[in-house]
Amino acid sequence: MPARFRSLPIFWQTLALLLGGLVVSQIVAILLIMYLPAPRPDFYTMSEIAEALASEDATPSPLAAQRRATAPGPQPGMIATPGLSQRLAGMVHRPLGEVRLFFQADQSESFPWGRRTGRGAVPIHHGQPYFFNTVEAALALPEGGWRVVRTPPPPLISSWQKRTIICFGFSALAMLPFAFLFARALTRPIRRLAAAVERIDHDAAAPPVPAEGPSELRLTAHALNTLRTNLHAYLRERTAMIGAIAHDLRSPLARIAFRIERAPQAIRVPVQHDIEQMQAMIATTIGFVRDGAGVGERRPVELSALARRLAQQARETGSEVRLGSVVAATVEGDRGALERLVQNLIDNAVKYAGGAELTIERAEDRARLCVTDRGPGIAEEALERMFEPFARADPSRSRSTGGIGLGLAIARSIAAAHGGSITAANRHAGGLAMTVELPLAD
């Protein structure tokens, strides 16, 4: 399909397909009229009826005779005329009293090559009556009884109607490839647009939405790219502002720490402890704002090897971290950022539950890493809130009970930057399960 046609609005593409289908159907109809033979109407002449009536041959035919004990009478919608009955009696060489003829009159107003014999008659051509409707004739037999001939009922679909239906069916089949190509050309850019938007939703560094296809889709792509650019600019501005505030707080805290040195020990010690806590919070905040997800160059990373190494390092420092079922799973990403993600989840489990267990499995085209613990768990309504910046399961801000609530926010940011996700759920046996899903490398 030409690129110029694919770039037309959906309205014009659809209209072109409909007009094309209409043109094809009209061409087929014209060809049928011009090249197919004209349908021959089903009719029987008076001579054929007389021959079948007088013949004693029992060979099956459309006008095969049947024997009856009594003479037939007129059926509903059928009539009899003396002239036609007399003509039939003369053809079979029998008196009029031994012949019966009933027929449905021709319904046409005129006949192109014959004449009518009056109301309720049939067409006659060269002296031969033509019956286009049902005819029933009977002849008295010398031994008693009657031989009856009745024209068969017309078929539901005649042969020329079947040919016409077949030709129109072929024309419809001829349109199917064009309809398929049109539908594929129309839906392909829509699928690409949806895939690009989904990539942007999972990966902030994803390329812009491609502007292709009909004009409506190109306008949508331009609008989405503009929105994406504006959102990134807004986030950078807010992030820079938070970083600047956190950075500027260092100077007054340093002055407070210097001046508190001359205060009495009973006051100096707790105030210095608070200053150190605030400085640690500011340093963590600046790191989060400055680095964000901290995703750099992406390379293949084997999650199972990464998990084994981090678990071994945790055990060397005295933490109770063990490996469960681990299968090989390679993802595309920044090794340092992924290590930071898993390390944050391990630290969170060790800090609040005293230990952790790591498992890795494959699910279709994604790798699933799960960090579980046997701690007290978290209220269901607070599970999603845990991933918000500065949110903590422990509402206190004591350094002895944990950090400032950025670990899980950083972990989710890293997972999203790699096109993945992270969720939290309480385990039925007790404890918490953190599940990270990342797309497998091609």
Note the pLDDT tens digit of each residue in 45-63: 889 888 888 887 655 567 7
Q: Are 389 and 409 in contact (CB under 8 A)?
A: yes
Higher per-residue confidence, 199 vs 209: 209
Q: What is the structure's pLDDT at 119?
A: 46
Q: What is the structure's pLDDT at 358?
A: 94
CATH number at residue 422: 3.30.565.10
Rounded Cα distance, 139 and 52, in Å: 11
Cα–Cα distance list, 283 to 260, 354, 377 (Å): 21, 26, 29
* pLDDT tier, 397 (very low <50, low <70, confident <90, very high otherwise): very low
344: in domain = yes
Give CA 403 to chain center in angstroms: 46
Q: Residue 359 belongs to what domain range?
A: 293-439
363: in domain = yes
Domains held by the chain: number: 2
Rounded Cα distance, 215 and 253, in Å: 57
434: in domain = yes
Rounded to the nearest 10°, the torsion over CA 372, 374, 379, 385 is: -30
pTM for the model: 0.48
Closest residue by Cα to residue 331 from 306, 351, 301: 301
What's the full length of the chain, in residues?
442
305: in domain = yes
Q: What is the structure's pLDDT at 57?
A: 66
65: in domain = yes
Higher per-residue confidence, 343 vs 63: 343
Helix or strand (DSSP H, E) at 311 = helix 303-316
Q: What is the structure's pLDDT at 154?
A: 74
Q: Are 207 and 225 in contact (CB under 8 A)?
A: no
Of the candidates 122, 150, 178, which is a domain's last residue?
150
Rounded to the nearest 10°, the torsion over CA 223, 228, 230, 234 is: 160
323: in domain = yes
Rounded Cα distance, 124 and 174, in Å: 45
Backbone angles phi, psi at 98, to 5 degrees: -100, 15
Amino acid at 84: L
Q: What is the structure's pLDDT at 60?
A: 56
Of the candidates 117, 133, 150, which is a domain's last residue?
150
Rounded Cα distance, 27 and 17, in Å: 15
Of the candidates 135, 150, 165, which is a domain's last residue?
150
Q: 92-106, 191-205, 207-221: which has the minimum mean pLDDT?
A: 191-205
